[in-house]
Amino acid sequence: MGIVEEYTRKMASLTGRDIVEPEPGVLVLPEVQDFRRILAIGDIHGEYERLCSLWAQVDYKPDEDLLIFLGDYIDRGADPLGCLQLILEIRRLSPYVITLSGNHELMLREYFQNHDIAEPLVGDDWTFNGGKTTFLQLQKLQEEEPDEFRRIRTFLYALPYVAFCGPYIFTHAGLDENRSFVEQREEMLWKRDAFQTYAGNPFLIVGHTPVQYFGSSYHEPLLFKNRVLYLDTGSYLPDGHISCIDIKANKVWQSREG
Ligand SMILES: [Mn+2]
């Protein structure tokens, strides 16, 4: 059974305000009417100043809002650790702050399958894709504040891959609605072609592929006819932003220059 059919059925049997994890990596969230706003934030990539300038505008209300981070908190920008610590602070405010994994968090986890934080940095896919600053910040943290390092590490290893919420699906990069979760678990963090291949139901919200990929003049979240919304607005690009959308009201906030 495909992922959409399977979890649409599971959602139908849910009651109350529980968050259910029917299998590791999959979250089924309460219905949309339980929240005033459904907020999603796209790729961040270590851009701490931009994240702060976005967050200052959102006016997040822990008792009323559902907030979903779409992954890629680390790598490329100057302060990935600052981003992780701010996201952890925000997460403490409510159980309805969801932090999905991006492919960069996946690359980090794969790196540490073969390498140790206490040893010198080794070149691999992750470190060549912007992971160097992340590694060096984490290495310093491990030396100076081992408890804080463990808190961050625990966070990075416990990120779900996809969240279902009523008529919406949130994941980092894309999905194939006809395949099961296990058949596409990692691919969902890398896929770029959902704007061509996705059948359109439920509404799919992704990051990963900067809107600038579709044309250099794009800076705002991009909605395709097949109901896939691309929310990565090039966080680390010179003219890029980090974006937050309220899906219900179709309102967008973006980071200011910083
Ligand atoms: Mn990505």
Give distance in angstroms: CA of 139 to centre of ligand 1.
23
Predicted pLDDT at 82: 98
Specify if 34 maps to a domain: yes
Give distance in angstroms: CA of 73 to centre of ligand 1.
9
Predicted pLDDT at 9: 80
CA 188 from chain centre, in angstroms, equals: 12
End-to-end CA distance of the chain: 46
Length of the chain: 258
**Count of domains forming the chain:** 1
Give distance in angstroms: CA of 16 to centre of ligand 1.
33
CA–CA dist 115, 233 (Å, integer): 32
Specify if 252 maps to a domain: no
Give distance in angstroms: CA of 197 to centre of ligand 1.
18
pTM, two decimals, is 0.97
Rg (CA), the chain: 17
Predicted pLDDT at 189: 98
Give distance in angstroms: CA of 199 to centre of ligand 1.
22
Predicted pLDDT at 99: 98
Specify if 246 maps to a domain: no
Give distance in angstroms: CA of 108 to centre of ligand 1.
12
Give distance in angstroms: CA of 119 to centre of ligand 1.
26
Predicted pLDDT at 173: 98
Q: Which residues of 98-116 are buried (b: 16+ CB within 10 A; e: fewer)?
A: bbbbbbbbbbbeebbeebe
Predicted pLDDT at 179: 96
Can you give the residue range of the structural domain that contains 169? 3-237
Specify if 258 maps to a domain: no
Tens digit of each residue's pLDDT (9 = 90 or more) over 23-72:
999 999 988 788 999 999 999 999 999 999 999 999 999 999 999 999 99
Residue indicated by tokens 């990051």: 207
Specify if 162 maps to a domain: yes
Give distance in angstroms: CA of 191 to centre of ligand 1.
9
Closest CA to 185 of 6, 70, 25: 25
DSSP, collapsed to helix, strand or coil, labels residue 38 as strand
CATH of residue 145: 3.60.21.10
Give distance in angstroms: CA of 74 to centre of ligand 1.
10
Closest CA to 160 of 25, 256, 252, 35: 25
Specify if 210 maps to a domain: yes
Give distance in angstroms: CA of 118 to centre of ligand 1.
26
Give distance in angstroms: CA of 72 to centre of ligand 1.
6
Specify if 245 maps to a domain: no
CA–CA dist 200, 32 (Å, integer): 19
Give distance in angstroms: CA of 42 to centre of ligand 1.
10
Per 3-state DSSP, the chain is made up of helix, strand and coil in percentages (nearest 5) of 35, 15, 45
Give distance in angstroms: CA of 13 to centre of ligand 1.
32
Specify if 125 maps to a domain: yes
Give distance in angstroms: CA of 219 to centre of ligand 1.
17
Per-10-residue mean pLDDT of the chain, 258 residues long, equals 88 81 93 90 98 98 97 97 98 97 98 96 93 98 98 98 95 97 97 96 97 96 98 96 97 87
State both tokens at 127.
């470190």
CA 75 from chain centre, in angstroms, equals: 13
Tens digit of each residue's pLDDT (9 = 90 or more) over 79-99:
999 999 999 999 999 999 999
Predicted pLDDT at 18: 86
Give distance in angstroms: CA of 107 to centre of ligand 1.
10
With contact defined as beta carbons under 8 Å apart, do 83 and 47 qualify? yes
Give distance in angstroms: CA of 15 to centre of ligand 1.
33
